[in-house]
Amino acid sequence: MNHKEIEQSIKLAEHYFRDKNYSYAEYILNRVIKEDSENSRANEILAYINENLGNVDIAFELLNIACNQSDCTSLAHYYLGSAQLKRNLFRQAIESFKKSILKGGEYFEVLHDLATAQAQTGDI
């Protein structure tokens, strides 16, 4: 798969994901990841699918992979921070929320969860 084919595949997978056709989306994303294991968007969408299917540990692992890439989205950092917050990984969550804000700006959910994590560490 070349770069253009990967981009087209991810767009198609996003379409299937939005339509809640997770099996098709997952199939496409796994093909992309086979070619480019660190593709941030493919790992991110696959994480959301796994989260929706109740596979939270797999989702957490995939979000970590996605967020280690420079082209990762703001929302991936936010959802990683949310998962870290649920796991009582407060300092890591704070860093993820800050990265989300740097990439995407401030919004209520990220500010709320950042404050929650900071309160847990005594950093108010």
pLDDT tens-digit series, residues 41-52: 999 999 999 999
Residue 103 corresponds to which tokens in the numbers above? 């990439």
**First CA to last CA across the chain, in angstroms?**
48
Residue type, 77: H
What is the pLDDT, as a whole number, of residue 70?
Answer: 92
Instruction: Go through 15-44 and write b for each residue having 16 or more CB atoms within 10 A of its CB, e for each that does not.
Output: ebbeeeebeebbebbeebbeeeeebbbbbb
Q: What is the pLDDT of residue 1?
A: 85
Q: How confident is the model at residue 36 (pLDDT cuts 50, 70, 90)?
A: very high
Task: State pTM to two decimals.
Answer: 0.92
The pLDDT confidence band at residue 123, using thresholds 50, 70 and 90, is: confident
Give per-residue pLDDT as tens, 59-80.
999 999 999 999 999 999 999 9
Confidence at 56, pLDDT banded by 50, 70, 90: very high
Q: CB neighbours (10 Å) of residue 84?
A: 23
